[in-house]
Amino acid sequence: MKKTVLAMVSGLAIVLAGCGQSQATAPVAKKTAGPVTIVWTASPIAGLGVRKTLISLFEKSHPNIKVKLITAPTSTNTDKAALTTQISSGSATPDVYMGDVIWPAQFAHAHLALDLSHHLPSSFWSRFAPGLVQGASYKGQVYGAPFYMDSGFLYYRKDLLAKAHLPVPKTWAQLVSDSETLQKDGLVKYGFVWQGNTYEGLTCDWMEYMTDAGGTVLNAAGTKAAIDSPASLKALTFMRSLITSHVSPAAVTTFEEPQAMAVFDAGKSAFLRNWDYAWANSNSPTDSKVVGKVGVAPLPTFSASNYPGHSTIGGWNIYVNPHSQHIPQDLTFIKWITGTQAQTVLATKFSEIPTNYAVQKNPAVRKVNPVLATVSHVRLVARPSNTPIYPKVSQAIYSNINAALNGSVSPSVALKTTQTQINQAISQNGL
Ligand code: GLC
């Protein structure tokens, strides 16, 4: 209660100061001695203690700021729902939060994120790898500071492939045939695990197959759905066949990143589609039974001449709650976490792709992060998230694709429904 009153008083002081009232007459909040605590909501990333490592390094170099960590749900959808409720209710916490790269348009539109372009100089933004700041922008303003980048990869069991004298698959057909051989020989239970649950992660996986097959979600002008195409049908028919051929377990339609990674790390699957941090996880003795047995490659393609396949661009930004009472401290935290020390730790200890360009290009960092070496060879594809209606577009994709994967509707019906739902969302809300 006391805290709320103090926050209100200091908030009032700021408002009054902003109205031009002299400092002498404005009520001034009593300065509290000691460090200021900011609250950071962040999902567990790789689940390997990344956040705590970063916080302790930050606090060491910034004795006047403490960071209180609140763990967010691992699913980006659930995470977004919780933050939306909290921030739209006017809550001053969290001060800063980790948020998906697909959120800037929605969060800017709904006033859930502070416009950082007015708080951080252009010299700050030049530290990031090309394209990232634009990805964090909406209508010319920047709403998030790029924290790390994700990209989809194929993880494979190099020991099993060597034992069976099989190549690392470059095509989806090869992945299926490698899997079937390894399964038949009793070397592994499942061939391939990935993200098939009805949530954002399935949209990411979908983008990779669909783009590789030559399809797109929207038409070239970006004004109408184009997802109901022969290319999409090829992609979805193939995804469903992974399940009917038992290369992927039926339960893959309920898997998100942690479940897929757990099956692979337990040694039960030959191949895994996951983001960069899965490298660190699969090599963590406390989390994995396959330490030292894993290789990483770009995702396969439908036609060998197109290799490598496509990888969806993912990643997370740091956003500031517009109601935060600690904006100077929030900005200090953002500058540090996107700076050399934090970004080097992320890349070298947790196999993340750093957003800080100098760190990303540093040969010493690349040497110890095989994922970073692979990412320069993949073809990246972005989700069409630069519109506040993206959640509706993505939901149309993941719910219908999931229904087809489950076998409850045919691939062609699923694609027709997706097309209709995306067009409805566009005509109801505009883009
Ligand atoms: C990863 C990506 C994020 C994506 C999510 C889907 O966290 O970084 O961009 O939306 O996976 O599950």
Atom of ligand 1 nearest to the CA of 313: 9
Handedness of CA 55, 58, 63, 67 (dihedral sign): negative
Whole-number Å distance between alpha carbons of 363 and 344: 12
Atom of ligand 1 nearest to the CA of 315: 8
The answer to whether the CB of 328 falls within 8 A of the CB of 119 is no
Beta strands in 139-189 (DSSP E): 141-142, 145-151, 153-157
Q: In a mutational test of the pocket of ligand 1, which residue from 204, 256, 276, 375 has the highest number of ligand atoms less than 8 Å from its CB?
A: 204
Whole-number Å distance between alpha carbons of 3 and 66: 17
Atom of ligand 1 nearest to the CA of 101: 9
Scored b (16 or more CB within 10 A) or e, 98-131 reads: bbbbbbbbbbbeeebbbbbbeeeeeebbebbbee
Query: Nearest residue CA, atom 6 of ligand 1?
Result: 201
- At the topology level, CATH places domain 2-143+315-377 in D-Maltodextrin-Binding Protein; domain 2 (3.40.190)
The two tokens of residue 388 are 């506040």
Among 275, 295, 291, smallest CA distance to 76 is for 275
Phi, psi of 376 (to 5 degrees): -70, -10
Query: Nearest residue CA, atom 2 of ligand 1?
Result: 314
Residues contacting residue 285 through CB under 8 Å, at least 6 positions apart: 291
Whole-number Å distance between alpha carbons of 153 and 384: 20
The answer to whether the CB of 117 falls within 8 A of the CB of 141 is yes
Beta strands 294-297 and 153-157: pairing type?
antiparallel
Q: In a mutational test of the pocket of ligand 1, which residue from 45, 50, 75, 76 has the highest number of ligand atoms less than 8 Å from its CB?
A: 76
Please report, in tens digits, the pLDDT of each residue of the chain (431 residues total): 333 333 333 332 333 233 333 333 444 445 557 899 999 999 987 777 899 999 999 999 999 999 999 999 999 999 999 999 999 999 999 999 999 999 999 999 999 999 999 999 999 999 999 999 999 999 999 999 999 999 999 999 999 999 999 999 999 999 999 999 999 999 999 999 999 999 999 999 999 999 999 999 999 999 999 999 999 999 999 999 999 999 999 999 999 999 999 999 999 999 999 999 999 999 999 889 999 999 999 999 999 999 999 999 999 999 999 999 999 999 999 999 999 999 999 999 889 999 999 999 999 999 999 999 898 889 999 999 999 999 999 999 999 999 999 999 999 999 999 999 999 999 998 77
Whole-number Å distance between alpha carbons of 64 and 196: 45
Residues contacting residue 180 through CB under 8 Å, at least 6 positions apart: 191, 245, 247
Sequence ranges of the chain with CATH classification 3.40.190.10: 2-143+315-377, 153-309+385-428
- Return the CATH class of domain 153-309+385-428: alpha beta
